[in-house]
Structure 1
Amino acid sequence: MDARYHFVTTYRLTGKATRVWDVLRDVEGWARWWPGLESVRLIRAPNGREGVGAVHRYVVRAPVGYRFAYETEVTAIEPMRYVDAVARGELAGRGRVAMEPPAGEDVTVWIAWLVETPKRWMRVLSPIARPAFAWNHHRLMNGFGTGLASASGMLLVSTEHAELSPRQPGFWVMPEPAR
């Protein structure tokens, strides 16, 4: 059975959007503030505008204790709007980090992952373990939001998690950033 996942986590923060963007762009610094991210390192420097082409390797420890590693390659960036990347390794697919235009002092950041788990044991267990894998993802992303707020000097107002199942409309379709 195919082990595909479609997650979207939305954070609402209060403060300056430019500070959030600066922290998001400092990928090598994420391990200092994101619990669960054991390490991140630059594998290949960007070869394009604004960081396109950069490849980073991440080692993550999931809340239930298993460790996984993956790489992302930045495929598109529009400053202060979004970063797109492809992932490969023990997590494979596509991701997008997007910032919605600020509404007063509120900044909305969302992260979408359309990924599959190439590890055989994860594919085999996916029909029964999907809720546990989703729970792990949500816990990791809670830590991301708390850490992002702290590192950017912002107040985290809310965190929302959404997951589309393979039978739902829009599954495996990347959400578009707001204009």
Structure 2
Amino acid sequence: MTARLYDLTSSWTFPNTQQEVWDVIADPSMAWPNWWPGCTLAKPLERESNTGASAEELLLATTATLNFKASLGYTLSVSYHPTIVDSPREVIFDAGGDLAGKGRVVLSAPDSGQTQMDIEWRVRPTNRWMTLLSPVAAPAFTYAHAALMKRGETGLREYLARQSNRK
């Protein structure tokens, strides 16, 4: 049985500058657990040797494996390896682990003075139970993804507000 392809999108808007949002989401230390509720590092970061010193080069050399606790009670372990970094605008990455495929995050600054973050996922589950349940559970998995993303958006908004208050 071929696993179902999930084509998932989210759009987040922040009152912060594009650079402020970029500095948090594209930090080579992948400190997402600092702001994303239900997200933890599954294992230490993997970093290719012979990397440059710039943030872009470090990000491109890094693979992070993160655990995400879904609202339905299961945990997904997903690895992220950036393949294209266009600072401070776009990151394209390969996903592995429990979800395999590609993702893309694009930041833009519309005329409103805010920063919009558009997130695209094209992934297939790799674990057998999700593959078998997808024909009937796809709506529940999509709901769980949306709830997880909402927690990430709220966490990032609160984190950015705390960072702005420290300035």
Alignment partners' CA distance in 2, 1:25 and 1:80: 8
Structure 1: which amino acid aligns with 2:63?
V
Q: Is the 8 A contact 1:3 1:122 kept in 2?
A: no
Query: Which residue is 2:41 aligned to?
Result: 39
Q: Deviations over 1:78-110 (max 9, x none)?
A: 001101110111110001111013424211101
Structure 1 or 2: larger helix share? 2
Which of 60, 77, 85 is the aligned partner of 1:77?
85
Among all aligned residue pairs of Structure 1 and Structure 2, give the percentage whose two residues are the same amino acid: 32
Alignment partners' CA distance in 1, 2:122 and 2:110: 25
Which protein, 1 or 2, shows the higher relative CO under an 8 Å CA cutoff with sep ≥ 6?
1
Structure 1 portions without partners, runs of 5+: 155-179
Alignment partners' CA distance in 2, 1:57 and 1:2: 21
Q: Is the 8 A contact 2:12 2:118 kept in 1?
A: yes
Q: Which moved more, 1:31-40 or 1:119-128?
A: 31-40
Alignment partners' CA distance in 2, 1:102 and 1:24: 19
Q: Is the 8 A contact 1:35 1:144 kept in 2?
A: yes
Structure 2 portions without partners, runs of 5+: 163-167
Q: Deviations over 1:105-126 (max 9, x none)?
A: 2111011110000111111110
Structure 2: which amino acid aligns with 1:53?
A
Give the root-mean-square deviation of aligned CA atoms: 1.9
Query: Which residue is 1:134 aligned to?
Result: 142
Which of 113, 118, 125 is the aligned partner of 1:117?
125
What pairs up with 1:157-168 in 2 under 5 angstroms? none
Q: Is the 8 A contact 2:3 2:126 kept in 1?
A: no
Shift of 1:45: 4.6
Alignment partners' CA distance in 2, 1:88 and 1:127: 21
TM-score (norm 2): 0.84
- Partner-residue secondary structure (3-state), 2:6: strand
Structure 1 or 2: larger strand share? 1
Alignment partners' CA distance in 1, 2:46 and 2:37: 21
Query: Which residue is 2:165 aligned to?
Result: none
How many equivalent residue pairs? Answer: 154
Alignment partners' CA distance in 2, 1:81 and 1:89: 26
Alignment partners' CA distance in 1, 2:118 and 2:105: 6
Structure 1: which amino acid aligns with 2:36?
W
Q: Is the 8 A contact 2:90 2:105 kept in 1?
A: yes
Runs (4+) of structure 1 exceeding 3 A deviation are 45-49
What pairs up with 1:12-161 in 2 under 5 angstroms? 12-26=13-27, 28-39=30-41, 41-45=44-48, 47=51, 50=56, 51-153=59-161
TM-score (norm 1): 0.79
Shift of 1:38: 2.4
